[in-house]
Every structure is written in structure tokens, then in C-alpha cells.
Amino acid sequence: MPTLPGRLRHPSKEKLSRHCHDSGFVAVVLSGSYVEAGDRGRMHVCAGDVVFHGAYESHLNDVAHTGADVLVLPWHGPIVSALGRVADPDALVRAAEASVEHASGLIADQLTWSTVMPIDWPDRLAEELRANPDLNLEAWAEQQGLRPETISRGFRRAYGVTAVAYRARLRVLRALDAMPSDATLTHIAADCGFADQAHLARSFAALTGVSPSVWRRGCTQPR
């Protein structure tokens, strides 16, 4: 999905199913609130919050009864956390009326990074999957005193995909981050939890539309 900068209104109780954006961006919450669950975790955001997204990441949104106004801006800088706060969102709106790139640059001057804290077990599982692409889901369920089918249903309700699918996406995103390095594709495949280089190539192309080799030859873009 292309990322269109500008001001956006989410109506009351809108539910956006999981979707993917092809470039990095931030969503500055101007009013209202919503829950976002994506590749960087799940969070409840409100006015003043800034939600960060890397290229090819996906998420769902569940808007509160108040609705929500957001300012969408491109983001090319580092992402320390999925969430931050700015002191004066209205100043960003005024700046964006002249230049969205200028408004995006002003975020760093106001920004305070926040920590996304897990709410419940689906968030704890998502956090552990982000840290370990080889996490054994059945063993994790047993450690938590949960049945595997409970894990599957509960995680899907929270994140819009099963834990297995979530882990598969995280592996590709981790590989995408590794592309600018000097590591071989074979090494990247092993480090990111793929069965082999061919498995990496198929999964990478399914997300980005090109093979890892083509990406490295010039199709790179910041995340």
C-alpha cells in the first residue's frame, strides 16, 4: 500500500484490518485515540503520540469511539522505538501545510522516545518473536500454561495474523534490515531463521516484489 502524506481522519470505531506500507512513515496523533498492533508491537495511542513504521511493515488499527485525527509524514530517520511523543503536534500540522518533508524533519526536534510495554500474553509472545526468530511456539505455550490452539486464536485476535505468520514476516523484515551489510545471503538466511537461501529468496520476493540479489543491486530504500 502506498503511503500518502497529509492529514487523515479515522471515524468512530473504524477497524482497519492488517495492511502493509511500502515506505517508512510516522503517524502523529492530533486528537482521539486508537489501538495499533503491528510488527513492532501493540500500543494504545492518543493525542501527542507519534507511531513509527518502517518500510514493508504491517499493522492493524482499532479506532476508539472518539475517532482519531492523524498527520502522516514520511520518515527516513532511525527508529529507536515504535512509539514517541511530541510537545506541539499543531506546529507539525502548520509546517506540513508548506512542506511535509520539512514537517518530518521537525519531529526530531520535539521527539521523546517512549517504551512500548506488553499488555498481555500476545504482546509478550510478539516481543519474544521479535527477539528470537527461532522461538518454539509449542514450548512457549507450555511454559505459559496455554494450549497451542489458544495461542493461535488469541494472537490472531490481537494482531490480525497467527503467531506463525507473524514470525514469518519478522524473519523477512530482519533480512531486509541486513541487506546493506556485507553478509552473504546464505549467512543472512541462516541468521534470520530461514531453512536456506532459496527460502529467503521466496519470502523476500513475496514481500518486496524483487529477489534479495536485485534489491542489493540498487532497489534498496531506508526502513
Please write the tens of the pLDDT for every residue from 164-223: 999 999 999 999 999 999 999 999 999 998 999 999 999 999 999 999 999 988 754 545
Residue ending a domain, choose from 79, 98, 114: 114
Q: What is the pTM of this model?
A: 0.91
Do 133 and 193 form a contact (C-beta atoms < 8 A)?
Answer: yes
With respect to residue 187, please indicate whether it lies within any of the assigned structural domains. yes
Do 178 and 188 form a contact (C-beta atoms < 8 A)?
Answer: yes
76 and 145 in a single domain? The answer is no
| pLDDT more than 90, % of the chain | 87
User: Residues 127-136: pLDDT tens digits?
Assistant: 999 998 789 9
Q: Predicted confidence band at 38 (pLDDT cuts at 50, 70, 90)? A: very high
107 and 174 in a single domain? The answer is no
Looking up residue 24, the CATH number of its domain turns out to be 2.60.120.10
With respect to residue 69, please indicate whether it lies within any of the assigned structural domains. yes
Do 212 and 184 form a contact (C-beta atoms < 8 A)?
Answer: no
Looking up residue 191, the CATH number of its domain turns out to be 1.10.10.60
Residue ending a domain, choose from 75, 91, 114: 114
The number of domains in the chain is 2
